[in-house]
Amino acid sequence: MIAFGQFTEVLLGGLLAGFLYSLVALGFVLIFKASGVFNFAQGAMVLLAGLALVRSLDFLVAKGFPYWIAVVIALLFAAAIMALTAWVIERFVLGPLVNQDGLTLFMATIGATFIIEGAAQMAFGSDVYPLRLFPTDAIFMFENTFPGGILVNKLDLWGAAIAAVLVAGLAVFFQYTKTGRALRAVADDHAAAQSVGIPISWIWFVVWLVAGLVALVAATVWGTKLSVQFSITFLALKALPVLIIGGFTSVPGAVIGGLLIGAGEKIAEAYLGPYIGGGIEYWFAYVLALLVLLVRPQGMFGERIIERV
């Protein structure tokens, strides 16, 4: 039973960490669904949101504001920054690139990544800033089922809950609102969507704003976990394999992909790590994604593409 308890602990830890990956992956899915753009800048947006949040929070607290008021103001400030970013990206980067092919847009978002990373650090500093929005202590669960129970971090539970709420909200947004339908039309074909009168620049602004807000949410959780620092941008890279497995267009897929990767890498680290040297987490997700691609080139949940000439 002890071995099984250990396994469950690793698995649960992995699944909860997976929810955190899903939080970042969600932002990608949103933008991809709405514009067909694979947004490499999502990780940089998490960094920007985190820095705006933590720096304004520290500033307000130092000025003597009560903590919770400071948190609310700081969140609003960070949201405003994300709105500004969304506008700038739409206006100056993506707007002029309407109707270009996916790879060009992808490379443009790599460019945007560097602009955001540079600007964010120049404006808000480039140190490590701790953020304390959620409790981070560990608790024991299932003490009746397993001897000694299972060690779980409260922060991971918060992350899972937030991810669940976001997914539900976004699913409703895409399926049932007029804007959501317009978003899907734009993703399918820019020119066709424009021709039926969908205001593409407004739609893109909205979607980048929503993605920015998702990045802000991700930043609150990740910032609490790792502190707000530059290495948070590598999350963007971790979200890539999540998307390969979950599919670029599926909101639930992003969650499932995140869970699979989170659980997979923790289990691999715990059970394979001792044999081939630690640090497997560093590459496990990518190699897993590569293997998935070899079997199903369109990703786990992607639709088969019928090519035409």
Partner 1 sequence: MLYREVGQFKTTYAADMAMFPIRQDRVALWLVLLVAFVGIPMLSANQIWPFGSDYLLRAILMPFLILALAAIGVNILVGYCGQISLGSGAFMAIGAYSAYKFGTGVSFPLPFAGFDVSIPPLPMLFSILLGGLMAAFVGILFGIPSLRIKGLYLAVATLAAQFFFDWVFIRVKWFTNYTPSGSVNAPELNFFGFLVNSSIEKYLLCLIFVTVFAFIAKNLVRGNLGRQWRAIRDMDIAAELMGIRPLYAKLTAFAVSSFIVGVAGALWAFIYLGSWEPLAFSIDRSFQLLFMVIIGGLGSILGSFLGAAFILILPIMLDQVPHALGVPISVETVSHLVFIVTGSLICYLLIVEPHGFAQLWSTAKEKLRLWPYPY
Partner 2 sequence: MRAPSGGEIASGEVLLAVENISLSFGGIKALSNVSFDIRKGEVRAIIGPNGAGKTSMLNVVNGFYHPDEGRITYRRQTRHRMKPYEAAASGIARTFQNVALFKGMSTLDNIMTGRTLKMRKGVLSQMIYWGASQKEEIEHREFVERIIDFLEIEHIRKAPVGKLPYGLQKRVELGRALAMEPELLLLDEPMAGMNLEEKLDMCRFILTVKDSFNTTIALIEHDMGVVMDLSDRVVVLDHGQKIADGTPAEVQGNKAVIDAYLGVAH
Chain residues in the site for partner 2 (CB under 8 A): 306-309
Q: How far is the CB of 250 from partner 2 (least distance, A)?
A: 19
Residues in the chain: 309
Q: How far is the CB of 81 from partner 1 (least distance, A)?
A: 16
Please report the sign of the dihedral spanned by the C-alpha atoms of residue 153, residue 155, residue 158, residue 162.
Answer: negative
Residue 1 contact, options partner 1, partner 2, none, Cβ 5-8 Å cut-off depending on partner type: none
Q: Which stretch binds partner 1 (CB under 8 A): 11-19, 75-83, 128-136, 291-299?
A: 291-299
Q: Is residue 271 involved in binding partner 1 (CB under 8 A)?
A: no
Q: Based on CB atoms, which residue is closest to partner 1, 67 or 282?
A: 282
Measured distance CA(103)–CA(114) in Å, rounded: 17
Site for partner 1 in 194-253 (CB under 8 A): 237, 240-241, 244, 248
Measured distance CA(287)–CA(291) in Å, rounded: 6
Residue 70: how many CB atoms within 10 A of its CB? 19
The answer to whether residues 187 and 34 touch, using CB atoms and an 8 Å cutoff, is yes
Site for partner 1 in 109-128 (CB under 8 A): 110-119, 121-122, 126
Residue 186 contact, options partner 2, partner 1, none, Cβ 5-8 Å cut-off depending on partner type: none
Rounded (5°) CA angle 131-132-138: 125
Residue 115 contact, options partner 2, partner 1, none, Cβ 5-8 Å cut-off depending on partner type: partner 1
Give every CB contact of residue 263 below 8 A, 6+ residues apart in sequence.
11, 14, 15, 18
Rounded (5°) CA angle 291-17-207: 85
Q: Is residue 99 involved in binding partner 1 (CB under 8 A)?
A: no
Q: How far is the CB of 35 from partner 1 (least distance, A)?
A: 14
Measured distance CA(258)–CA(243) in Å, rounded: 8
Q: Is residue 283 involved in binding partner 1 (CB under 8 A)?
A: yes
Q: Which of 232, 201, 218, 8 is nearest to 86 (CA)?
A: 201
Residue 306 contact, options partner 1, partner 2, none, Cβ 5-8 Å cut-off depending on partner type: partner 2
Measured distance CA(182)–CA(178) in Å, rounded: 6
Q: Given the rule CB under 8 A, which residues bind partner 1?
A: 38, 92-93, 96-97, 100, 102-104, 106-108, 110-119, 121-122, 126, 237, 240-241, 244, 248, 276-280, 282-283, 286-287, 289-290, 293-294, 297, 299, 307, 309
